[in-house]
Amino acid sequence: MSGASVHGDFLRNAVIDTVIPHNPAVDIEAALTFALEGGAEDLNAVLSSIPQRSLLFFDETVPVRVVLRLSNCSENDLKAHLPRLDIGMNALVFNPTTPSTEEPAPAKDSIFTGSVNNKEDPLVVVNVFEGDEGSGNHVYVIWKIDAFLHRPRIRIQHPCVAFSVTASLNAAESSDHSFRNDEYLPTTVPASSNVLQALSSDPALKFTAPYLPASRLLRVVPAAQKEAPVHNLRQQSQHPIRIVPAASARIRCSRLNTFSSRPVTIACLDLEVTPFVTCDVVFDKADVVLSDGQVEDISKTPELQPPILLRPRDDVTLIYKLIPEYGPEAYLSTTSLVSSLDISLEGVIKLSDDCQPRIFMQWRTNVDFSIPLNPTFGGPSQVMQRNNRPASLSVTSGPSGPPSTNAANRSSYRERAYSHTRGGVTVSFSGPVDVEIGKPFQWDVFIVNRSPAPRKFTMMAIPRRKRVDLRRHVTRPSSSSISGKKDKKEEHLAEAVTDESIIHAMQKNAAGQDADLVCLSTDLRIGPLLPGTCHSTELILLPLATGALHLEAVRLIDMNSNETIDIRDLPDIVASLCG
């Protein structure tokens, strides 16, 4: 290769662009070579010779090729600068229609953000040419990024997606390691002068040599270090591509109308192929997993077993039986029994023989297994109805009935806390029981806004503090009270309001206490949540002691009304040493 480039000229006259081939297994090197031999000079003209995708789908993992063209780059410069090159890509979905001046700006949302893996070697294609000014070359560097296009958080009428890529060249590491090895006294740097050097001859200081460096008194300006410049490169032109949902899925849960002491819930998973696609969709995987129970597939027909072939506008329903694993004593409690349900779907879109994109859908929802305490109570009659009529009556209500089972006695250890409903919001927690000391773990938090107004919350964990028992300290009468009784003239003097021994005991136990469980999510903000919507987040916790650990409560604060809700029914935590 001819030509040489310095650190600052590596990205000079460079061009970067993205391409999504119609065939993911296309030979990019052969396609670029064929286009260059055909006389294509511009990067857009070179990439336009490759057949590209004209339609993308949400929930699809699409392979995107990032192409960087360098001008007059040598082999040594390429090996020296490629490890320092950072390539980032962002996918933005928007409405391509141009709004008028009176209409608001179009809605936009980012559906993918990723970067190139520097550990993988890119594909390099070199094109040597001869021009009027002499010979030169164009070096094409190609990377591959698998972008998962998730669904946008906003509603867009005619969505299109555009990929934008950026490249930045980081500064080279300094070869002078003397300042990092010895930051107090670098090599080849003279030491600071001693301000107290004149006092060294004082006979009173014959055993001590006074020393005060001038750098402690004077302002020292560090020398400026020369660094290689950092250059950024952005994609000049974007190519919007239409994107649509290929399929939609939802799950509906309904409780069986039985009087059994063990509740059973039926889950219906609806799969529908949208009319936006004109080809078949094959669902080869459909999994439903219950966190605290078993799932039984009721759809036994061969046509409803994966792989399931669906055509546009087809709708199929898969039926599952959800059987929880709670003990009989758990259903006697008045607290809701909620378990998490994980649904995952995978399918292939048969666009053509050489293009079959794959979609993946996964989400989590909650299932309530709590049953009425008296299911035979039934619904209200037509003769007498009340607005606030309860859905069921407790069999053991009243002073003569036995008390309800405590929440702590439902089971020895729980991976899921039961849902807490108060103030128009339902909150449930789930997390592991057995954790390792010093290793962070997370609680999954699921919040549902059941109020008719939008809500905005902040969540914080309150650690449990050890309560100091002052009764173990023997109280003694204070000295002021005893001295007052010795003098008959001062018999009217009252005793001290606060005994000095109690104050001494409080000060003695005022030392800081070691925390057994620390919450690393200090400020967690949720919302705004519209009426009927839900939100899933997580709390990061760090165990610092072995044994059973607890939090005092998880506090939920309404940011609009400053109303606080303390949730004390939390999952159990048992910390042990690393095995």
pLDDT given for residue 39 in this prediction:
77
Q: Which CATH class name applies to 246-375?
A: mainly beta
Q: Are 291 and 339 in contact (CB under 8 A)?
A: yes
Cα(559)–Cα(451) distance, integer angstroms = 15
* pLDDT by 10s per residue, the chain, length 579: 334 344 457 787 888 999 999 999 888 889 888 888 887 778 888 888 889 999 999 999 999 999 999 888 888 888 888 888 889 999 999 988 755 545 556 678 899 999 988 778 889 888 887 765 656 788 899 999 999 999 988 888 889 999 999 988 876 654 444 444 555 566 666 777 888 888 877 877 777 788 888 777 766 565 555 554 546 788 878 889 999 999 999 999 887 765 555 667 889 999 999 998 889 999 999 999 998 888 998 887 888 888 999 999 999 999 999 888 865 555 555 456 778 899 999 999 999 999 999 999 999 888 887 765 555 444 444 444 444 444 444 433 333 333 333 333 334 456 666 566 777 888 888 888 888 888 899 888 888 888 888 888 898 888 877 655 544 545 455 554 444 444 555 556 666 666 677 777 777 666 556 678 888 887 788 878 888 888 888 889 888 888 888 888 888 888 888 888 888 888 888 888 875
User: What is the residue-wise DSSP string for 49-108?
Assistant: TS-B-SEEETTEEEEEEEEEEEES--HHHHHHHGGGEEEEEEEEEE--SPP-SSSPPPPE
Instruction: Count other C-beta atoms under 10 Å from residue 531's C-beta.
Output: 12
Q: What's the confidence (pLDDT) of residue 98?
A: 56
Task: Point out which residues pair with 342 in neighbouring strands.
Answer: 289, 364
Per-residue model confidence (pLDDT) at position 250? 92
The residues, any chain, with a CB within 8 Å of residue 101's CB and separated by 6 or more, are none
Write the DSSP assignment of 111-177 as a string of letters: EEEEE--TTSPPEEEEEEEEETTEEEEEEEEEEEEEEEEPPPSS--SS-EEEEEEEEEEPPPPPS--
Residue-range domain boundaries for the chain: 7-172+231-242, 246-375, 414-467+514-576
* Length of the chain measured in residues: 579
Annotation: CATH topology of 414-467+514-576: Immunoglobulin-like (2.60.40)
Nearest alpha-carbon partner for 320 in 283, 372, 267, 277: 267
Report CA torsion sign: 176, 178, 180, 184.
negative
Distance (Å, whole) CA 437 – CA 576: 6
Q: Is 517 helix (H, G, I), strand (E, B) or coil?
A: strand
- Name the amino acid, one letter, at 514: D
Spatial separation of the C-alpha atoms in residues 129 and 46, rounded to whole Å: 15
SS3 557: strand
Domain spanning 7-172+231-242: CATH 2.60.40: yes
User: Does residue 357 have a cis bond before it (omega within 30 degrees)?
Assistant: no
Q: What is the pLDDT of residue 37?
A: 84
In which residue are the tokens 């899925």 written?
Answer: 249
d(CA 579, CA 575): 12
73 within 8 A of 5, measured Cβ to Cβ: yes
Q: Which residues of 194-228 are buried (b: 16+ CB within 10 A; e: fewer)?
A: ebeeeeeeeeeeeeeeeeeeeeeeeeeeeeeeeeb
Maximum Cα interatomic distance, the chain, rounded to a whole number of Å: 121
Half-sphere exposure of 517 (CA within 13 A, CB side): 27
pLDDT for 137 equals 83
The pair phi, psi for residue 486, each rounded to 5°, is -75, -35
pLDDT of residue 172: 61
Q: 56 near 242, Cβ under 8 Å?
A: yes
Give the pairing type, strands 434-436 and 573-576: parallel
d(CA 43, CA 141): 12
Asked if 458 and 548 count as a contact pair (C-beta separation under 8 A), the reply is no
Answer yes or no: same fold for 7-172+231-242 and 246-375.
Answer: yes
pTM of the model: 0.58
What distance lies between CA 117 and its chain's CA centroid? Answer: 21
Helix (H) or strand (E) holding 501: helix 500-508
